[in-house]
Amino acid sequence: MTVFGADFKRARREWLYTTELMQRPWRASLFFILLFVVSAILQTLAGFIIYYAWHGAFAATALNSENSGFSLWVPSDQELFVKASIIGLFPSAILILLISLFFARFGLPRGMGRLPLRLPQLGWLGWIVVVLGFGAIMLGIFSGTFAALGIDPETYSPSGGGLGNDKSSAGIIEKTMAALAKDPILFALALPSVVLAAPLTEEIMFRGALFSGIASSRLGRTGAVIITAALWALAHATGAPWLFVGVLFMMGIALGLLLLRFGSLWVTIACHASWNALSSLGLFGAGTH
């Protein structure tokens, strides 16, 4: 079983996730809010920096406040700002990871409240089976759901479209990546954010801090899987139809079960990243035709 790893064999017999030394509910909620706010601020700042460097000093429009003597400068090209914000997710995610690793190492406080960031004992074949298995299951869920409802995922959009009037069943990030696919250089710049930064940030926040707090409460592990999956799916609801959010909820359930099974966020991060990579390649192929 060396090629599969010790944890692969153990996970077949038991759940490896433990609530020992994990976040207590109130601390987990505060930690989740802290990470969420810091991530939003850092991504917005990075987006502004990239936007103005990209679009130039004349990319802003001055809006004069009626009740104040100062001018509020906002991006004049909202679609371009969304693209810049996605690219800016990568540097902000690195800082979020460092903050989380600090708390995972030292605890909140004195060794309590660690995050499940231990590296699982999986061999090369174990990683392949887990990641590809997750991808195969999610492809089956996505295609099966749309097929059962008789819906074409490329055209379904009950909300009447989204960014750039793209009438697809995706969210704002997916629509933006599809728009970026028309420019390979910009798409390449955004790829690390979508494939690496987004999974790191989202998994640490939702299935890291928040999950551990809920799991150690009366709601238990079942409640942690369901609640974090629901909140994570709702976080992607901007510009997306509810069917897309519902499918993401099922994906969140699968990621939560993987966390319980292997007891490590690196497993969910790897699966999340592989799915984002597969989706991005699909968007790039569609956007270049």
Q: What is the DSSP string of 82-136?
A: HHHHHHTHHHHHHHHHHHHHHHHHHTTTTT-S--S-PPP---HHHHHHHHHHHHH
The pLDDT value recorded for residue 236 is 83
**What contacts 24+ positions apart, CB below 8 Å, involve 165-169?**
169/240, 169/241, 169/243, 169/244
Domain boundaries, the chain: 6-287
**Non-local CB neighbours of 104 within 8 Å, separated by 6+ positions:** 114, 115, 117
Query: pLDDT at position 62, please?
Result: 39
pLDDT at site 275: 93
Rg (alpha carbons) of the chain, rounded to whole number: 20
**Both structure tokens of 275:** 């799915």
| Residue 165: both structure tokens together | 């009037």
In this structure, which amino acid lies at residue 96? Answer: I
Side chain identity at 239, as an amino acid letter? Answer: G
Would you say 4 and 249 are in contact if contact means Cβ atoms under 8 Å apart? no
pLDDT of residue 31: 83
Identify the residue whose tokens are 């997710």. Answer: 89
Q: How far apart are CA 28 and CA 212, in angstroms?
A: 7
Backbone φ and ψ of 60, nearest 5°? -110, 155
Please report the beta strands in 2-89, taking only residues with DSSP state E, as ranges in sequence order.
60-64, 71-75
Q: Determine phi and psi for 114, rounding to 5 degrees.
A: -70, 155
CA atoms within 13 A on the CB side of 170: 19
Whole-model pTM? 0.84
Plot region of 112 (φ>0 → left; ψ -120 to 50 → alpha; else → beta): beta
Residue-wise pLDDT tens digits, 36-74: 898 889 888 888 888 888 766 444 443 344 444 444 455
- Whether the CA torsion 155, 158, 160, 162 is positive or negative: it is negative
What are the residue ranges in the chain where pLDDT is below 50?
Answer: 57-72, 158-169
Residue 282 near residue 177 (C-beta atoms within 8 A): no
Report pLDDT for 66: 45
Model pLDDT, residue 164 = 41
CB half-sphere exposure, 287, CA atoms < 13 A = 21
Question: Which token pair is 33?
Answer: 């809010």
Distance between CA 265 and CA 101 in Å, rounded? 12
pLDDT of residue 159: 41
